[in-house]
Structure 1
C-alpha cells in the first residue's frame, strides 16, 4: 500500500503542512474540507495527523488525488514519559499493518474510558454532562478533551474552550484524567515496524531539554521544528538539536479550526517540500 499519493515537484518554494487535525479526532473540518482548504492555500503536500486515529486518511484520498495534493499518511500518537504527555507524529507508515491497527483501536477505547472518568469527576463537582453527548460531538471519531469542552460550552457551564480547560480539563484542573500512558519507545517501535518515521511533536510545548535528549535515544527519526508554539528562536534551537543528532525536520500548523484566527494562519505555517524529500530518502535507506 503506497503511503503517499499524487506526487508533485519538490523544490524549496513549494510548501507542505504535516500537522493537521480533522473531525476524525478533535478538529472542526472533515478530511475532505481540509483537502479543499489545502488546495486553496496552494499546499503541495499535507498530512492529516489526527490523535490516535487514521480514520481520516481514506476519506481524504479521493479529493487529494483530484486536487493533485500529496497526502502523506500520518497520525499524532499519545504516550507518556516521566510525568510528561509525549506526542509522537508518525508519517509514511502502513496504516493497515495489523499491530498498528490493533494499537489504535486500543487507544480509541482508552480515550472513551478517559472521557467517562472525567464526566464522573465533573458530576461530583455538580457539572452534569453525559458521555453520550461527548461521543456524539466526536462524531464517532477519536474522543478528546475538546469534545468535552464543547459539551460544557453547549450546557452553559463555561463561556469558551479556554475557560473549560482552565476551570475543569487542563492538566492541573480538578476534572483532569491522565492521557494514554504508553511508553514513547513503544509508540516509536510501532511506527518503525509499520515502515514509518517518528517525530517528536511540539517539543517546546511538551518537554524539557533533558527529556528531549532521552526521547532521541528511543529512536526518533526527527523533531517538529515549525509549530505555532515555536517562535524563530525555538525553531533555530530545535533545528540545531536535530542537526546534532542527524535527525529530520518536520512541521505544520497543528490546525484544528477551533480557535480564533486559526483560519488565517492555515497555509502560512508550512515547511518546504525539500524537508519532505529528505524524509522520503530516509525511508528508502531504511
Structure 2
C-alpha cells in the first residue's frame, strides 16, 4: 500500500519525520523548538538532519527524552558526483566520532569559503552584500544559500527567497558556486565508520537514474522515498528501486520553517515508524 504524504495509513500507524533542519544550519527554529513541535504533532521519532552539522543533536536530546520523543542522530552531508550535487542523509551514527567531527569542522570552513565566493560574484553584478551579514544570519551555524537569500531580501535586492534562488543562487543562476566537492563514496565511508546508515536524499530533485544506480554501488543503505518533492509516482518508483537492491526506505518533511517556501505543515509529511524499526535491524553492532 503506498503511503500518502500525510503519513496516515489505514491503521493510524505511529509516525516519524527523519528530515528536519534547525538554526544549526539553515532552518528557522532551534533544536529545542523542533522537539516541542514534534510533540505537538504527535510524532514518535524525529531526526534533526542539519547540513554538514551535528551540533543540534545534543541541544535537542534532553528535551526529547523529557517529552518521550525518540531522537535519531542525523545529518545531511553534501557531496558532488559527475557535476551533480548529491546529498547523503546519515542516521544512527556516533556523532562524537573523531574523524566525522574533523570532517564536519572542515565542511564548516568550506561552506564559509563558498559563501565568500558567492558574495564576490554578486558584487560583480552590482549586488553588494557583506559576508559578515551572512555569518550573522547563520548564528554560528552551518552557512548555506538560504542565509545569503535572507540577506538579499533584507537588502531589498529580491522580494522573496524563491526570487533569490531563481535570480542569483540556484544551481543554474549566475552567482552559484558548487557545493562541497567530496566524493559521495567518502561520505558513505565516514558514516559507515561512525556506525551509521547512509541514505540518498530527495533523488527525484536532482539525481538521474544512471547516477542513482552508480551511487548504490558505493554502499548506500537506503533511499529517501517520502519527500515533499516526490509525488506518489516518484514515491512508488524509488520504492521499487530500493526493493530491487534490498535497500531501506526513509523520508521526511525536509522542514526548514521558511514561511516563503513552505506553509507550516510540520507533522504532515511523515513516514511510518516501522521504517525506523527496519533501519535499526540493519545497524551492525560491534
TM-score by length of 2: 0.94
The residue aligned with 2:127 is 127
- Tell me how far apart the structure 1 counterparts of residues 191 and 12 of structure 2 sit (CA, whole Å): 27
- Tell me how far apart the structure 1 counterparts of residues 24 and 193 of structure 2 sit (CA, whole Å): 24
The question of whether the paired residues in 1 share the 8 Å contact of 2:257 and 2:264 is answered with no
The question of whether the paired residues in 1 share the 8 Å contact of 2:160 and 2:260 is answered with no
The residue aligned with 2:159 is 159
The question of whether the paired residues in 1 share the 8 Å contact of 2:162 and 2:261 is answered with no
- Tell me how far apart the structure 2 counterparts of residues 106 and 256 of structure 1 sit (CA, whole Å): 23
The residue aligned with 2:28 is 28
The question of whether the paired residues in 2 share the 8 Å contact of 1:116 and 1:131 is answered with yes
- Tell me how far apart the structure 1 counterparts of residues 135 and 106 of structure 2 sit (CA, whole Å): 16
The residue aligned with 1:268 is 268
Displacement of 1:264: 3.7
- Tell me how far apart the structure 1 counterparts of residues 97 and 263 of structure 2 sit (CA, whole Å): 34
The residue aligned with 2:3 is none
Displacement of 1:246: 0.2
Structure 2: runs of 5 or more not aligned: 1-10
- Tell me how far apart the structure 2 counterparts of residues 285 and 275 of structure 1 sit (CA, whole Å): 19
The question of whether the paired residues in 2 share the 8 Å contact of 1:12 and 1:272 is answered with no
Q: How do 1:82-231 residues align onto structure 2 when only pairs under 5 Å count?
A: 82-231=82-231
- Tell me how far apart the structure 2 counterparts of residues 63 and 129 of structure 1 sit (CA, whole Å): 37
- Tell me how far apart the structure 1 counterparts of residues 109 and 248 of structure 2 sit (CA, whole Å): 32
- Tell me how far apart the structure 2 counterparts of residues 143 and 53 of structure 1 sit (CA, whole Å): 10
Indicate the RMSD between aligned Cα atoms, in angstroms: 1.3
- Tell me how far apart the structure 2 counterparts of residues 260 and 125 of structure 1 sit (CA, whole Å): 25
TM-score by length of 1: 0.94
- Show structure 1 runs of 4+ deviating over 6 A: none
Relative distance call for 1:162 and 1:248 in structure 2 (3 A) is same
- Tell me how far apart the structure 2 counterparts of residues 278 and 12 of structure 1 sit (CA, whole Å): 19
The question of whether the paired residues in 2 share the 8 Å contact of 1:12 and 1:273 is answered with no
Q: Deviations over 1:95-146 (max 9, x none)?
A: 1011000000000000000000011111111111100000000000000000
For the pair 1:59 / 2:59, whether they are aligned, the reply is yes
The question of whether the paired residues in 2 share the 8 Å contact of 1:12 and 1:274 is answered with no
The question of whether the paired residues in 2 share the 8 Å contact of 1:248 and 1:279 is answered with yes
Relative distance call for 1:174 and 1:214 in structure 2 (3 A) is same
Aligned length: 276
**SS state at 2:283 partner:** helix
The question of whether the paired residues in 2 share the 8 Å contact of 1:88 and 1:201 is answered with yes
**SS state at 2:26 partner:** coil
- Tell me how far apart the structure 1 counterparts of residues 101 and 272 of structure 2 sit (CA, whole Å): 30
Displacement of 1:262: 3.2
Q: Deviations over 1:169-188 (max 9, x none)?
A: 11111111100000000000
- Tell me how far apart the structure 1 counterparts of residues 77 and 285 of structure 2 sit (CA, whole Å): 24
Displacement of 1:285: 6.5
The residue aligned with 1:256 is 256
